[in-house]
Amino acid sequence: MKKPVLLALLCCALPLSAQAQFAKPEDAIKYRQSAFAVMGTHFGRIGAVVKGEVPFNAAAVTANAEIVAALSKLPFDAFGPGTDKGGNTKAKAEIWTEQDKFKKGATDMQEATAKLLVAAKSGNLEEVKKAFGATGQSCKACHDNYRAK
């Protein structure tokens, strides 16, 4: 087998966390910002329903919640050592000095998005509203602590 093919196969066999390697800090920064941006777009579409700007459609909310919950797993492996600088980032230095607290915030947010998905699947708008509020709080907690203005 040719070496590049073997290497490609080896890469695929690695667990997801070990794949979180970026050539440059800038690449990690772009990756995590992209994941947050897509998440924010789909969370915002649920927000429009919660605010009554868009009629409630459980299937559409579920589709958006699926994306939010899946994407919530992506950004945090891209906050590795040395990715505090090197691109256009608002990430505060405290992320790397308060790793336990930062990771707890990430887990809280991931759990909140999982509950939002359950609420969406229930088809109950009141449940969606509650879970949306809790998820928004989990976003805000990290923004307040770890994102520069």
Distance in angstroms (rounded) separating the CA atoms of residues 108 and 105:
5
State which amino acid sits at residue 46.
I
- 147 by DSSP, 3-state: which? strand
Q: How many residues at the interface with ligand ASC, by CB under 6 A? A: 7
Phi, psi of 24 (to 5 degrees): -135, 150
Q: Site for ligand ASC (CB under 6 A): which residue of 20, 27, 47, 80?
A: 47
Q: Does 40 bind ligand ASC (CB under 6 A)?
A: yes
Distance in angstroms (rounded) separating the CA atoms of residues 79 and 38:
17
Q: Site for ligand ASC (CB under 6 A): which residue of 9, 11, 44, 51?
A: 44
Q: Does 91 bind ligand ASC (CB under 6 A)?
A: no
Answer whether 46's CB lies under 8 Å from 128's CB. yes
Residue 58 CB, nearest approach to ligand ASC (Å): 20
Q: Does 133 bind ligand ASC (CB under 6 A)?
A: no
- How many Å from the N-terminal Cα to the C-terminal Cα in the chain? 51
Nearer to ligand ASC, 43 or 79 (CB): 43
Q: Site for ligand ASC (CB under 6 A): which residue of 102, 116, 139, 146?
A: 139
Phi, psi of 20 (to 5 degrees): -75, 65
Residue 143 CB, nearest approach to ligand ASC (Å): 6
Helix, strand, coil: what percent of the chain each, to 5?
75, 0, 25
Q: Does 43 bind ligand ASC (CB under 6 A)?
A: yes
Residue 98 CB, nearest approach to ligand ASC (Å): 20
Residues that bind ligand ASC (CB under 6 A): 40, 43-44, 47, 136, 139-140
